[in-house]
């Protein structure tokens, strides 16, 4: 190929990144949408139940501290 052809078409014919994007793009978008929905659900729960959330976080921190101190 000459330089003009390479500049006009900089992508190789068998681009593995493009192949992966075409193959897994829809699945990645679906997972991304589900994560956004889960994040909104968690934020709504925290807003409606701040006390429960704080108690749960404190309990989890206590358990992690106990576990870490045994190591």
pLDDT in tens, 38-62: 999 999 999 999 999 999 999 999 9
Residue 14 lies in a domain: no
Q: Is the pLDDT of residue 8 over 70?
A: no
Average pLDDT, the chain: 87
Please report the pLDDT score of residue 6 as a whole number.
52
**What are the start-end ranges of the H helices in 1-71?**
3-8, 16-48, 50-69
Residue 40 lies in a domain: yes
Residue 25 lies in a domain: no
Q: Is the pLDDT of residue 12 over 70?
A: no
Helix, coil or strand: residue 49: coil
Q: Looking at residues 19-47, what average pLDDT do you find? A: 94
Q: What is the dihedral of CA 26, 29, 34, 37, to 10 degrees?
A: -140
User: Which domain does 67 fall in, by range?
Assistant: 32-71
Residue 54 lies in a domain: yes
Domains: count for the chain: 1
Residue 65 lies in a domain: yes
Residue 12 φ/ψ, nearest 5 degrees: -70, 160
- Could you tell me if 48 and 41 are in contact, meaning their C-beta atoms sit under 8 angstroms apart? no
């Amino acid at each position: 190929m000459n330089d003009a052809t390479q500049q006009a078409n900089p992508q190789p014919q068998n681009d593995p990144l493009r192949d992966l994007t075409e193959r897994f793009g829809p699945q990645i978008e679906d997972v991304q949408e589900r994560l956004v929905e889960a994040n909104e659900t968690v934020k709504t729960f925290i807003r409606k139940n701040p006390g429960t959330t704080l108690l749960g976080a404190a309990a989890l921190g206590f358990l992690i501290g106990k576990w870490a101190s045994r190591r």
